Amino acid sequence: MSILVCGALAYDTLFHFEDRFDNHILPDQLHKISTTFKVPTMRREFGGPAGNIAYSLCLLGETPLVMGAVGEDFEPYRQHLKRVGVDDRFIRTIRGQYTSQCFGIADKDGNQLMAFHPGAMDHATVNQISDVTTPVEVAIVSPGGHAAFLQHTRQLHAAGIPFIFDPGQELPLLSRDELHEIVALASYVAINDYESELMRERAGLPVEILKTMVDALIVTRGAHGAEIYSEDRIHLIPRVQMPGKPVDPMGCGDAFRAGLLYGIKQGLDWQSTGRLANVLGAIKVSSHGPQNHFFDWAMLRTLYEQTYGDAWPL
């Protein structure tokens, strides 16, 4: 049985500006701004939630199916995913399009200017859940285009495949009615604390209601760990403290979601699943980029037992 990961695959190009933006932008001239920031450092990373989640699943020994739409420039990324063990049969190339691209520049204070080009992602509805003939144990629908979000959640429910609804940064694009519909179709919802507030404000779905609509509601709380609501219980999952300072939070939530998917597939209880997810998120934070971290079973077991004081569940 496989894990199906639906969502965007993207190239992330990140620049660092060694000064402050406000030293180079005149507040009273914003209506005709024209400026250039010299950026001595640049990183280009493989990204997008589907790729990030799949990468950590491969490190766990899975061969996840990834479903997404990419452009003609995707081949280096495809080879990277195939090397780590991703099943790429449903990563469809859209001719005449670029793979989704995110460009970001950060100044010395951590302020960011971002530009996102969806590219081929807007054509992700080319993929149909009915095309997947491999048995699927559990799926996740992560950000990958508004139309694809609706299509794939409806098709997964119709096919009887349990899935995690992971709205992420696309939550504001979904209407109140669409959010209610998708939550009603989903088996699980995974959101962060900010997204939980958006669900309350935009859809009238506070945690108290959300937790009654799905088998499990997972809310990540950053440095405060995570909360998992299931069967009238709340599991408080303390964070994992890695040695040294955090390096890069990008992709941390996606690594966490890989842990959720793995725990669900392995039939772990929610406390153990949440702890495993937290361990994966902490390991990711210690590396630059969303797909450069590494772990093995010995490392996972040591971090799990040192943090939580219980025996390794796998």
| 88-138 pLDDT tens trace | 999 999 999 999 999 989 888 878 888 999 999 999 999 999 999 999 999
pLDDT at 210: 97
pLDDT at 44: 93
Query: Is residue 21 packed enough to be buried (19+ CB in 10 Å), middle (13-18) or exposed (0-12)?
Result: middle
pLDDT less than 70: residues of the chain: none
Task: Give me 243's structure tokens.
Answer: 């040695």
- Domains by residue range for the chain, with CATH: 2-9+48-99+118-308 (3.40.1190.20)
- Count of positions (residues) in the chain: 314
pLDDT at 33: 81
Query: Is residue 178 packed enough to be buried (19+ CB in 10 Å), middle (13-18) or exposed (0-12)?
Result: middle
Are β-strands 65-70 and 87-93 bridged in parallel, bridged antiparallel, or unpaired? parallel
pLDDT at 200: 96
**Three-state DSSP class for 25?**
coil
